Amino acid sequence: MPCLLLEKFPYHQLVWCLLYVAISTQPNITFGIQQLTQYLDSNAIPHWNMAICLVCYLKGTCNLKLHLRGQNPNIKLNGFTDSDWASCPDSRCSVGGYMWSLGTGTISWTIRKQHTVAASSCEAEYMAAFECMQECIWLWALLKGIRLDLTSQPTQMFCDNDSAIALFEDPLLHAQVKHVDIKYHFLHKQVQSNKIILLCVPFKNNTANIFTKALPTPAFTYLHPCLGLQ
């Protein structure tokens, strides 16, 4: 039986501090934080050790900074979306994640457990892309408020699932996903109106993978420059 930490170790305080770092300047630790936050109510020694390992990683990479570069009119808004199908062993819900970059640096990122159980990896990617698209609409409005209108041309959003992309582009395939909540079909309308272009990206180049999976070290460090971390 695992030994509960209770008040012996400040697990909650440490996780919240790490969460602040992940939200602010270190998107590369977002997946690790998402795993730690699932055990706030029932944590044990292994969870504390994992949190300490994350602190050691941050100490060893303290020179890694998030860089934002780009000049108007060549600056572009690009999105990457990914999901890990049925990754939760208890609920079998999938985990979805996305990131948006402006120029060469990441400006928005998140990871979230999906509320609906997806029947396939295609559906999980479909729902993750909807969350990514919602953030895109908010970013359009935010950037327009600072006189940077990027809606004159379609915004590119990248996904590594060919079936999900085909589902977005071909309305005839929607009969196969009628059971998916109607709000997710809003993305299809955005694609049809040419506001968003969905493109396929190889798995190793999908930056959103770093938010949804525990990647091997070479793949993990390979994606750092894609996030703007240098």
pLDDT tens digits for range 142-168: 999 988 888 888 899 999 888 888 877
The answer on 36 and 121 residing in a single domain is no
Q: Between helices 11-24 and 45-60, what is the axis angle to 10°?
A: 40
Q: What is the pLDDT of residue 5?
A: 45
The answer on 182 and 95 residing in a single domain is yes
Domain presence at residue 4? no
β-bridge partners, 109:
99
Which residues have a Cβ under 8 Å from the Cβ of 31 and sit 6 or more positions away? 97, 111, 210, 211, 212, 213, 214
Domain presence at residue 3? no
d(C-alpha 119, C-alpha 113), whole Å = 15
d(C-alpha 226, C-alpha 158), whole Å = 13
Q: How many domains does the chain have?
A: 2
Domain presence at residue 215? yes
**216: its two tokens:** 């091997």
Domain presence at residue 39? yes
Q: What is the pLDDT of residue 147?
A: 87
Place of tokens 């695992």: 2
d(C-alpha 227, C-alpha 108), whole Å = 10
Instruction: Record the pTM.
Output: 0.87
The answer on 82 and 56 residing in a single domain is no
Task: Report the alpha-carbon angle 119-215-55, nearest 5.
Answer: 120
The answer on 111 and 31 residing in a single domain is no
The answer on 208 and 134 residing in a single domain is yes
Domain presence at residue 68? no
Measured CA distances, 42 to 3, 86, 181, 207 (Å):
10, 22, 32, 31
Q: What is the pLDDT of residue 112?
A: 87
Residue 18 main-chain phi, psi, to 5 deg: -65, -35
| Residues of the chain falling short of pLDDT 70 | 1-7, 70-73, 170-185
Q: What is the CATH number of the domain that holds 140?
A: 3.30.420.10
**How many contiguous H segments (helices) and E segments (strands) does the chain have?**
9, 5
Domain presence at residue 199? yes
The answer on 42 and 147 residing in a single domain is no
Domain presence at residue 5? no
The answer on 102 and 216 residing in a single domain is yes
Which residues have a Cβ under 8 Å from the Cβ of 146 and sit 6 or more positions away? none
The answer on 178 and 97 residing in a single domain is yes
Q: What is the pLDDT of residue 91?
A: 81
Domain presence at residue 70? no
The answer on 45 and 92 residing in a single domain is no
Q: What is the pLDDT of residue 107?
A: 92
Q: What is the pLDDT of residue 1?
A: 41
Q: Provide the domain limits for residue 35.
A: 11-60
**191: its two tokens:** 């694609």
Between the CA atoms of 123, 124, 130 and 135, what dihedral angle is there, to the nearest 10 degrees?
-170
d(C-alpha 2, C-alpha 65), whole Å = 37
The answer on 118 and 44 residing in a single domain is no
Alpha helices (runs of H) in 104-229, residue ranges in sequence order = 121-145, 162-169, 186-192, 209-212, 217-222, 224-227
The answer on 42 and 85 residing in a single domain is no
The answer on 116 and 207 residing in a single domain is yes
